[in-house]
Amino acid sequence: MKRNKKERQVSLKETIEQKPFITDEALANMYEVSIQTIRLDRMELNIPELRERIKSVATSTWNETVKALAIDDVIGGEIIDLELDQRAISIMDITADHVFTRNKIARGHHLFAQANSLAVAVINDDLALTANADIKFIRQVVEGERVIAKAKVIGMEINNRTVVEVHSHVDNEPVFTGVFEMFRSTQEKEGG
């Protein structure tokens, strides 16, 4: 539904507050305006671009929650949601840096790195290392796509091991899955 500039900007601000990880393209489609109009609206409203919004959310809570990984050590995506020893979510936009030049298909190690970083970050310990990984690439990912990876702790085992399952999707279509056996430096406490 078309709105005048003032109404659009009020609604835009509310939408971004509710969905901080929404893209300019999605907003342009929602408000039936150009991406450039959305960018100008954001600038007038002092709302940063998506990448900066993601970094802001991640950095504000990172040092208080993540133990096994420094924010600069995250490879292949930005972690946007984290509940230690439970679950985590990261987003990675596939750019020209991630793909083969000839066919614009993402290199597999970027998808693996996103999933592996997520599996490390979700561990509530000062040290977490990948002991084993059973991975499967389901479909090719291409430049311009956004990969959302979701990690879930599915088991705590003896010998200081935690099993983390990661599923990566593009527009709700599975593209990668992995089960990571993570070594942690301390045994998980009973009931916690």
pLDDT at 189: 45
What string of pLDDT tens digits covers the 192 residues of the chain? 678 889 999 999 998 888 777 888 889 999 999 999 999 999 999 988 877 776 665 555 444 455 555 555 666 667 777 888 888 888 899 999 999 999 999 999 999 999 999 999 888 888 889 999 999 999 999 999 999 999 999 988 777 899 999 999 999 899 999 999 999 887 554 444
pLDDT at 71: 55
Output the CA–CA distances (angstroms, integers) from residue 72 to 15, 77, 79, 152, 159, in the order listed.
Answer: 29, 11, 11, 22, 29
pLDDT at 97: 93
Q: Which two tokens stand for residue 164?
A: 């983390």
d(CA 25, CA 28): 5
Integer-rounded Cα Rg, in Å, for the chain is 19
- Domains in the chain, CATH or no CATH each: 5-47 (1.10.10.10), 62-184 (3.10.129.10)
pLDDT at 186: 74
pLDDT at 74: 63
